[in-house]
Amino acid sequence: MYATNRNVNLPQPVRFRPEAVVLQGLGGYVPSEEVTNLDLEGRLDTSDAWIRTRTGIHSRRFAGPGEATSDMATEAARRALASAGNPDVDLVILATTTPDHPCPATAPAVASRLGLGPVAAFDLAAVCSGFVYALAQANAAVLSGQHRKVLVIGADTFSAIINPQDRNTAIIFGDGAGAVVVGAGEEGQPGQLSAFDLHSDGSCQDLIKVAAGGSRMPVTPDTSDADRYFSMQGKEVFVQAVTSMADSSRAALEESGWRPGDVDWLVAHQANQRILNRVAGVLGIDPEKAVIHLDRVGNTSAASIPLALADHAPQFAVGEKLLLTAFGGGTTWGAGTLTWPAITVTDPQQELNERTTPCPNPQPM
């Protein structure tokens, strides 16, 4: 017979459950290597004018030789931690589609290089929706009392999975990383994360994918380039992205008690200028309130929202209402709301102008 525990009424440890979760730090990193539209004209059947008209992108950044997702993630995280006053973090979530290796996850390596100790750390794969998904998980982790401070990173090296000869994708994507620190706060405090709305539809998984490299289709010497590289059905993605982001944004706004007219800034995934304009129009938000960062860095996937936040931080005022939304492979999509906090942020673009060589592998703090 199994022994009976007679101490069933012993008091259980009480977890601190905060009133709210607030954004406390922010940082971004973009590689040094700039690839302009004119550079692409030399090897692709395209033109600067065509790319600008179709996407709004003028240039993008590619990781340098030997520079991987963990390198960019570590540097962005270091800046976010400094922005937050270098707090003790007890959870790291890395949103990425391009980990350093299929196995193991990249987040533990980033945590180690930051000198964070044996904290919980894991990767989250939701492609371009990854940062919104990861931020929602961090919000829930803190509200539950399970964790006090969470480092959320979005980082991708899409240049590693893009066919450089594919005009449909090579003109769009760039590399980079962005990170935030969130922690316990008070209701109504500037920086508060207010609401999240997340969704997926696996029946549309073929719209955005890398076919080979997993258990369904392992890479072999016979694997074709079409299966080895990233592919996207652009027209279908455009339509679904606009509809999905708009619907999810409405749900997040309603849960927050906000109306579209209350939104000071729309920070959507930086996929395409036309998509951003269309989402703003469908929601009834002034296009001038839509943050634009893709023109200089391209579509940086999971890094795009935190990089846009870091780039635009000097223009945000404390207490202003921000709406975040994204659509990515899976398919996945979601939205979240927050008010802007009083934080200091290093502009990754300004720092880039002062840096002439790729970021070296960071050492532990």
Q: What is the spatial distance between Cα 154 and Cα 305, in angstroms, rounded to a whole number?
A: 8
**Residue type for 334, please?**
G
Q: Point out which residues pair with 332 in neighbouring strands.
A: 200, 328
Can 204 be counted among the known catalytic residues? no
Given a contact cutoff of 8 angstroms between Cβ atoms, the answer to whether 40 and 359 are in contact is: no
Q: Is the peptide bond before 356 cis (omega within 30 degrees of 0)?
A: no
Q: Cα(313)–Cα(318) distance, rounded to whole angstroms? A: 10
Angle separating helix axes 273-283 and 234-256, nearest 10 degrees: 40
Please confirm, yes or no, whether 359 is among the known catalytic residues. Answer: no
HEC-encoded secondary structure of 99-150: CCCCCCCCHHHHHHHCCCCCCEEEEECCHHHHHHHHHHHHHHHHHCCCCCEE
Tell me how far apart the alpha carbons of residues 61 and 134 are, in angstroms, rounded to a whole number: 24
Catalytic residue of the set 37, 128, 147, 293: 128
DSSP class of residue 312 equals: H
Give the C-alpha separation, 264 to 266, whole Å: 7
Tell me which of 139, 293, 299, 359 is the catalytic residue. Answer: 299
Q: How far apart are CA 143 and CA 137, in angstroms?
A: 10
Name the active-site residue from 269, 272, 293, 359: 269
Are the beta carbons of 277 and 150 closer than 8 angstroms? no
Distance CA 294, CA 300 (A): 8
Instruction: Respond yes or no: is residue 101 known to be catalytic.
Output: no
Q: Which residue has the tokens 């991708």?
A: 156
Q: Which amino acid is at 356?
A: T
Query: Token pair 């975040």 is at which residue?
Result: 324
Q: Which residues are catalytic?
A: 128, 269, 299
